[in-house]
Every structure is written in structure tokens, then in C-alpha cells.
Structure 1
Amino acid sequence: MQTDWTVRAITRAMLPVLLVLTLVEIGSGLVLGSFEEELLRSPSLLVLVPVTIGTAGNLGSILAARLSTAFHLGTLSFDPTDDTLAGNAVATVLLAATMFPLIGFGAWGLAELTAGARLAPLTVITVAVMSGLVLSVLAVTVTVIATYAAYRFELDPDDVVIPAVTNVCDVLGVVVLFVVVWLVL
């Protein structure tokens, strides 16, 4: 793991990661742009976009911080039966299961107050919950892979995992949200 704290060492470790993640974010914008018409027709969905991708990134970031701490403490193994790994993964999915119904209801309510929600509350909540649960599983997967990759490439997971997870969750969030919308509507 990198222990050199010079500007040069940090830049050498982070610049390639940030360049790749910039390209990932551009992809997210392109995907989002392709669904612009659907978003403008349904204000509730428009409200869901930033909150869904933000919450997915936050869930992944929380997990990343916990795994990084466990990694530094030497209590993390990448064995699927590892209690630290499995327990934190399950907690992440359960947290999503409690948050996304509230997010769906909040998105519907905000759209109703400001623009007149064109979708039923149950529809918006269903889209939010389905998207959130899928995203939480994907966030766990991305976080574990990114943490393991940091370990294998001898990078500090504190430096690379959270930016990787939040950026990948942005793209996945947009894609998953619109696949779920396509399935539900």
C-alpha cells in the first residue's frame, strides 16, 4: 500500500483514477440526456434522478469507508464468509430498503407540490424502491471490487474507493432508474 505522502506520489496514484472517472461521468450525462423527454413528462422521475444516484453513491461510500477502515485494521478478508464484509454488505442493502420508500414518497410529494405529479404515489415509490434495492446490491459489488483492486494494486483504499464508487454509482443509478421506469411504466 502507498505510504509516500508527497504531492508527486499522490498525483501519480490519483490522476489516472480521476481521469477514468471523468470519462465515466461523461457517460452518465450521455445516458441521462437520452432520457430527457421521459423526465420532463414525469416531474416525479425528474426529482428521483439526483436523489437516487446520490443515495446510491452515499451507501457505497459508507460501505467503502467501513471496508477501508477494516482493511487498515487488518480485520478484513475478501472471503464472502467474512463477517465484516458480509455484515456491512447486508447492512447497506437493509439501509437502502428503509431509505428508498421514503425517497420515493418524498419525490412524489415534492413533484405534487411544485409541478403536479403525473404519476401515482405508489408508482413513484415502487420505482424508487426497486431502483434502490438493485443499486444497493450494485454499490456493494462495486465497493468490494474497488476495495479489492486497491489492495491488489497497493493503493490506499481511502484514496481511490470512494471516488470510484460514487462515480460508478452515478452511471449505474441513471441506467438502473430508467430500466426500472421502463419495466414499471
Structure 2
Amino acid sequence: MPTSWTVRAITRATLPVLLALTVVEIGSGLVLGSFESELLRYPSLLALVPVIIGTAGNLGSILAARLSTAFHLGTLSFERGDELLAGNAAATIALSVTVFPVVGAGAWVFTRATAGTQLGFATVVTVALASGVVLAFVAIAVTLVATYAAYRLELDPDDVVIPVVTNVCDVLGVLVLFAVVQVLV
């Protein structure tokens, strides 16, 4: 069993990252709390929050898992013309363009059935799509940086990249969603 797969090595690699990410998540909660009145005013936005940030984290996690596997297979080069990186990034963007409108439509239908005042269907779907596409680019950037940092620090990307990506997407997901809301609503 390689030493990098011991409980001690994994804990040593992940504990500092998880502690730092805990502070980051507290910041996300504070940002989310500052938009409470807007969320209560538009229930469809409230329904979008967990789904948007969760889906963005999932897209980043999928990309992180694929890059980590490529890293372990020795097929990841981190060079400008790396087709593996470009193909996975394009797939992440394509997934976001197809998934986030469905997320928006689902949030609209759910809140239409359960809440009174409502934003228009097209508005909710557009907010979800715009937020999702921006978050796809954010997830790609965060995943590439985290994977490269793990490589440079000689850490196993399986241990650190997915927690970093999901937590950063949580925080930035809240910020991106409300930036898009400020522009479109």
C-alpha cells in the first residue's frame, strides 16, 4: 500500500484544506443572508439557490474526477494545446447549457405550485441558464487550478480537488446567482 494512501497521509493533505474551506463556507452563508429579503420576495430564486450551487459543484466534481483519473494515468499535461483538457471543459459547458434551463424550469414549476408571487417563467429559466454557464466557467477554472496545485504540491488530486471545487462553487455560486439576478430581475 503506497504511503500516500494511508489515513495519516490523507488526513495531513485534506485537513488544512477542509479547515480553510469551512471558513469560506461561512462567508457564503453570510453573503446568502444578505440577500434574504430578495429571496423571500421571489420564492423561485429561493428554490434556485441550493440547486444552482449543487449542480455547479457537481459539474466541477465530474470534471475534477476526470482530470484526476487522467492525472493518475499520466495523460494530463497541463499544456495549452491539451485536447483532454479542452474536451472536458467543452463537455462541462455543454452540460451546463442543457442542465441549467431544466433546473430553472423545475424551480419555476415547483414555486408556482407552492408559492404565491412569482417571477416569469422565461426570467427564472434565463437566470438559471446565465448563472449556470458562468458557474461552468468558474468550475472549470477552479478545477484546473486545484488539480494543477495538487500536482505541484505532490498531493493526490483525489484527496483535495473535489472538496475544493464543491466548496468554492458553493460560495461563488451564491455570488454569481445574485449578480445575475441584479442584472436580469
**Normalising by structure 1, what TM-score?**
0.97
Show structure 1 runs of 4+ deviating over 3 A. none
In structure 2, what is the equivalent of residue 31 of structure 1? 31
Distance (whole Å) between structure 2 residues aligned to residue 81 and residue 172 of structure 1: 28
Deviation readout 1:101-120 (Å, 9 max, x if unpaired): 11111100000001135100
Say what the alpha-carbon RMSD is for the aligned residues.
1.0
Question: Which amino acid in 2 is paired with 1:14?
Answer: T
- Which ranges of structure 2 fall in alignment gaps of 5 or more residues? none
Q: Within 5 Å, which residues of 2 pair with 1:56-95?
A: 56-95=56-95
Question: Which amino acid in 1 is paired with 2:54?
Answer: G
CA contact (8 A) 1:59 1:136 kept: yes
In structure 2, what is the equivalent of residue 164 of structure 1? 164
In structure 1, what is the equivalent of residue 96 of structure 2? 96
In structure 2, what is the equivalent of residue 44 of structure 1? 44
Q: Within 5 Å, which residues of 2 pair with 1:128-139?
A: 128-139=128-139
Aligned length: 184
Question: Which amino acid in 2 is paired with 1:120?
Answer: G
CA contact (8 A) 2:25 2:170 kept: yes
Distance (whole Å) between structure 1 residues aligned to residue 172 and residue 141 of structure 2: 12
- Which ranges of structure 1 fall in alignment gaps of 5 or more residues? none
Question: Which amino acid in 2 is paired with 1:163?
Answer: P
Distance (whole Å) between structure 2 residues aligned to residue 117 and residue 76 of structure 1: 49
**Normalising by structure 2, what TM-score?**
0.97
